[in-house]
Chains A and B, each alone.
Chain A
């Protein structure tokens, strides 16, 4: 890529659109940060206050006093990491199968997977809870995470990515060399689909990070709380402290952004290397 000093000709409208999209996207988040630095009453001031105040630390200390924030963060990181790794493994294996192998019922199974998305999750709450508690998984990260292992989107993304970016010739060559399918998966497919891993990984990680209803239902022991469950106890109708609440919500999002930034970079580097053809 050539580096030029000014903008390339004709790209100005593109920049303007991207800037507008960016500002609209982060404004509510920025406002949240502002609230996290101000006393509770600032929430009431309309139109919204736009400059940060001086209570950043104070509000966060209140959060730490009220909930086991770091314990919950550790639980959340553990949960999200495990679920994400498992989803990546399950999805890439299945995606590989759907993309590169012929087997009877392939289309049927694929449609079946997409159909599992159709069941409204709210109604399954009671039977799912019943199952998880019968399996002895209440208060465990396994119980909190198992629902998220079913990720049809992941399988779709992987199938698509693998079928477009893993050349059949390469696979055939490897087979002639006596590689097993598994070895092909391990040493040819996995390296190629890294960018797809970054995308899917971020989506899954974020999904699990932000989910509340199921985690709240399954995790009842404060020691097993994840961030969203812990944060919910800050939001108590009889004792609303918006400064504290938004401070909690804000700091619970920061690690996610950091993780996103890390993987985003990795994602970009693998593209610019031009490793995919």
Chain B
């Protein structure tokens, strides 16, 4: 009888020990290697940061960098969980610009990079980009700038040709230099080719949206959308206007149908940052040589996307983490990130560098596309988005989609404003 019990006891111990084994395998690392610092670094999207980390490890043998790469949404959810629980955050993390504002009231959960001497490298970066990572008083810095998303106009040469429009980038930007001219060109494209000018309502809306210095909220968190001079309504109206002309397609971004349209020139124009290039080369191989890049009308010049690297205050190695971030985001390494992954530099001196100036893009028929983005980068205003920006913006996008499906624009706008007011009062 005792023997039988022993058997079961053995099974239970086996189960337990497997757990403990699994448990210890994780903890080994922090214990191993006296004086060796391990930095956990969370990144999202397509970056070359893993390669840069390896390079840094070689130069600094006492530092080990663990990179966790995930998809944008998962990345920020996971980060929020850790920051909220006050435990389990990494030593360094990327934060996307639209997500940054929600952490502003949790300033104490992050290391003030000014305390680590960040003011010394401030001149290296674009002012607007830098200021967006400061708190209202300007004495706290959440993160160092990684890439930015200055927007330019991608156009499909075959569609333009068919519509009888110029295909030389400079001539295109000359011809389309105001929103009205853009709308006229769109009508021409539609009449001659039957194709829409832009892919989706979101794109049409973003044309003006990304150029706004102030959108839904002011820095005190007050909702501005009901006010007469608020720019969101204008952006909305412009999108509706384009829709009424019939020049807006229904290719939602990131869907297979959209990728297909990119591939085959299903619409004429994409108003997007440099990072779209990477997506196009991967997913629209047949578009090679057919797309070109040029400057957007100045009214549309804006920023879409880009990130920061922040250091959660839980870390025990803030100095080392900062040193690595500073190195990784130096102008030289930003050039490398640009060449490798299309991350557009936030350090303007890169724009003068040999490799950048002589950059030529095979996918764009050998055009030097970087120059157009660099030009756009300098004209971007500092923008405040507010902690609930993403959700609030989604409500307007919903309204626009409904308009596309036949709803009344005015009613949809009013309904969206009402929903937004409800959301903000939460």
Question: Do A and B truly interact?
Answer: yes
Contact A238 B45 (CB under 8 A): yes
Q: Are A78 and B22 in contact (CB under 8 A)?
A: yes
Asked if A216 contacts B78 (CB within 8 A), the reply is yes
CB-based contact B68/A86 at 8 Å? no
A43 to B257 alpha-carbon distance, docked (Å)? 10
Contact B70 A237 (CB under 8 A): no
Do B85 and A130 have beta carbons less than 8 Å apart? yes
The size of the chain B interface, using a CB distance under 8 A, is: 51
Given contacts A129-B85, A216-B74, contact A78 B18 (CB under 8 A): yes
Residues of B within 8 A of A46 (CB): 256
B359 CB within 8 Å of chain A: no
Does A211 make an interface contact (CB < 8 A)? no
**Is there contact, CB below 8 Å, between B26 and A186?**
no
User: A221: CB under 8 A from chain B?
Assistant: yes
Most buried by A among B11, B20, B25, B45: B25
Known: A182-B5, A222-B68, A233-B70. A238 touches B279 (CB 8 A): yes
Stretch among A109-117, A135-143, A202-210 lining the B interface: A135-143
Closest B-chain residue to A179, C-beta based?
Answer: B1
Q: Are A126's CB and B45's CB within 8 A?
A: no
With A237-B72, A239-B282 known to touch, is A140 a contact of B25 (CB < 8 Å)? Answer: yes
- Interface SS majority for chain A: helix
B15, A129: Cβ atoms closer than 8 Å: no
Output the nearest chain A residue to B14 by Cβ-Cβ distance.
A85
Q: Which of B53-109 contact A (CB under 8 A)?
A: 66-72, 74, 77-78, 81-82, 84-88, 90
A82 near B88 (CB under 8 angstroms)? no
Q: Are B23 and A133 in contact (CB under 8 A)?
A: no
A272 to chain B, nearest CB (A): 27
Smallest beta-carbon distance B10→chain A, Å: 12
* Interface presence of A89 (CB below 8 A): yes
Q: How large is the interface on A (under 10, 10 to 19, 20 to 34, 35 or more residues)?
A: 35 or more
Cβ-neighbour of B88 out of A85, A133, A141 (below 8 A): A133
Q: Is the CB of B263 within 8 A of A220?
A: no
Contact between A82 and B15 (Cβ–Cβ < 8 Å)? Answer: yes
Contacts of A127 in B (CB 8 A): 85
**A79 interfacial contact with B, CB 8 Å:** yes
Find the A residue at minimum CB distance from B87: A133
A-B contact count (CB 8 A): 127
Complex-state Cα separation, A40 to B88, whole angstroms: 37
Contact B46 A238 (CB under 8 A): yes
B29, B40, B87, most chain A CB atoms within 10 A: B87
What CA separation (Å) do A81 and B263 show in the bound complex? 45
Q: Is B285 in contact with chain A by the CB < 8 A criterion?
A: yes
- Contact status A126-B84, CB under 8 Å: yes
Q: How far is the CB of A229 from chain B (nearest CB, A)?
A: 8
Interface assignment of A11: CB less than 8 Å from any CB of chain B: no
> B8 on the interface (CB 8 Å rule)?
yes
Residues in A whose Cβ lies below 8 Å from that of B90: 220
Given A41-B263, A44-B259, A79 contacting B88 (CB threshold 8 A):
no
Q: In whole angstroms, how far apart are the Cα atoms of A79 and B18 in the complex?
A: 9
- Say which residue of A41, A142, A222 sits within 8 Å of B23 (CB atoms): A142
By a beta-carbon cutoff of 8 Å, the part of chain A in contact with chain B is: 40-41, 43-44, 46, 78-79, 81-82, 85-86, 89, 125-127, 129-130, 133-134, 136-142, 145, 179-180, 182-183, 186-187, 216-217, 220-224, 232-233, 235-241
Q: What would 27 A/B residue contacts be, using CB atoms closer than 8 Å?
A: A40-B283, A44-B257, A44-B260, A86-B19, A126-B85, A130-B87, A133-B85, A133-B87, A133-B88, A134-B87, A136-B27, A138-B88, A140-B22, A140-B27, A142-B22, A182-B5, A216-B70, A216-B74, A220-B40, A221-B40, A224-B25, A232-B74, A233-B70, A233-B71, A236-B45, A238-B279, A239-B46
